[in-house]
Amino acid sequence: MNVGYIAMLSDYLSRELNYETDLTYEFSARVGRDWTWDEFANRYVNVSEDLRGAITRNPRLRVLFLSGY
């Protein structure tokens, strides 16, 4: 990811929105980089029970499902 974009976002959050934090911004290219698909190799991944449980615990939860090329 472009470092300039991160600097611009940080500047916008602090100057325009008055949001200050000591947290480091983690962009998506770094999030989950150590995660592996090995557990799901050669099989269908079914997360419907996990999703059902999450919606049961939080009825206000909304899910956006997108599919395509």
Query: Which pTM does this prediction carry?
Result: 0.41
Single-letter code of the amino acid located at 33 = R
Res 60: pLDDT: 93
Q: Which of 2, 1, 21 is nearest to 10 (CA)?
A: 21
Contact between residue 54 and residue 61 where contact means Cβ atoms under 8 Å apart: yes
Q: Look up residue 14 and give its two tokens.
A: 């602090």
Q: Which residues of the chain, if any, have pLDDT below 70?
A: 1-2, 27-33
Distance (Å) of CA 52 to CA 39, 56, 65, 69: 21, 6, 14, 26
